[in-house]
Structure 1
Amino acid sequence: MPVVRDLGVLLRLRNFRRLLAVRLLSQSADGVYQVALATHVVFSPEKQATPAAIASAMAVLLLPYSLIGPFAGVLLDRWPRRQVFLYGNLLRAVLACSTAVLLLAPVPDWLFYASALCVTAVNRFVLAGLSAALPRVVDTERLVLANSLSPTAGTLAATAGGGVALTIRLLADGSNAVVVLLGAALYLLSALTSLTLPRTLLGPDRGLDHAPLREALSSTARGLVAGLRHLAERKDAAYALAAMTVLRFCYGALTVMVLMLCRYAWSDDESDGLGLLSLALGASAAGYFVAALMSPWAVGRFGRYG
């Protein structure tokens, strides 16, 4: 099969493998950290999860993508991307250790959420940098395949990290701090792995003339408005984005519902609830994997709208 052959070629590219390793370690740490956040909010014996607490946890996970995401590229065009991976993951390792300390100390909830928000905010720059660096390690012919493979592999790594986090939490007598420290160790490994890549390989190109930062940020904001106007004129693109928005909203609502059912309705104690959540996480991982395999065939067989 051409896809399998191209995949074999990709994995023989040394710098692609190294960049992929940075992604897998980084996103597996994300999975560990996010599960620690969710279980602390929902499954900690001393806490009674409320809709406000769950909404706060979801905001911590999603706000950086909504607020920082559109502007991340402006800064990534000015910073060496390998250094973004190095210092970004080092910073997240330190922040994760701080979160572990906050979990053990009697501190206000807002301080814990602020620490978690900083970790996910830095994550937005790392993920954007990983995508921007791909054309530097893959030839144009196989770039589409690499763009498909890398995020899928990262999602699977995050899911696997979440599964490991749940297992460790069950074995570590319910200690979320131990789980967070595992995430910090993985962030550190990702930072060290980035050092195997040449400093200037991933860009951006030196000598390019950049607009002043304030002007670039305002231009990005105007571009977002222009993009909305563009969508208003092209219904197919607007429908596709609307469909994705509804799907992600429903997936988030379903995730919260499963968390609450595992905690309060389907189990008698915390361990049983975490065990059920592990099964749900495994099903989600299997679904991502099957979708990655079936999507190219399904699009060819039924078309994009089919």
Structure 2
Amino acid sequence: MADPSSSDSSRTPKPFYGVYLAAGLSSRFGYRIKCLQQVGRCGETLLELSVRQLLNQSVSAIIIIVSDSTYAQIHDVVGDNFLGLPVRYAYQVTPPYRKKPLGTVAALLAAKNLLDEPFIILNGDTLYGDSALEHVCTHIRYKDTPCMPGYPLRDVLPQSGKVNRAVVGIEGSCLTRIVEQYNISMDDIRTGKYTGDELTSMNIFGFQPSILDFAQRKLNAWLKQNPTDDTSEYILSTMLNDLLPEEGTRTYVYGVGNSIPLELTNPEDFAYVRNNLDRVGL
């Protein structure tokens, strides 16, 4: 896969924000906030470890997407300045007719008024590692197009249990399709449904502020088509699937080598994450 991240040294690198999705409570974790779980060797929270890695990439500020259920606890730990970085908060609000939030596009748009610089958006319950972060952060500091890392499917499935993953198609280094697949497990590789080499998204993307108008239009259209749906979600991977055919904007996909992300999905993942921090350079 070609590497489009080589920066244009004639351009001045732009400042950028780190945007964390942290509005949800985890029923699997007893409705605790996963980004505040102390997975570090010295008791650091998952969020602290992730922010420390972003500091290596010269992030200028942190924006955390919260909800009424998560703001107080996160603010108690993080405050308005964290590890020397200014922190801002944006609320994702679930409409009263909904049983579930509207999805990650709505979460991103909750921070629309704060996003006047390029930004990397990340899950609050995942450690992505230096390789993925460096690719994305370098790209958005020098280039005007969206980007994302692509992880081999076999590297992002739990040994037991099922998860959802967006499977990615590329041509050269450019995204051609990205389609959410539901309830995937390692058994799907063992039985041949997937090879395991398929590239997948782990909900980490690099964007310019210009993406926000497109995201708002797409969410508005989705809401118009689904006016009473109380559980379906409109997500970033679905939105990206329309960006090239509708706007002619390419999304670049980076390989991540041997970097394997660590995700805190189930309670049994806690020990695994804590014991494998070296996989993400920690």
Q: TM-score normalised to the size of structure 1?
A: 0.23
Bigger radius of gyration: 1
Which is richer in helix? 1
Which is richer in strand? 2
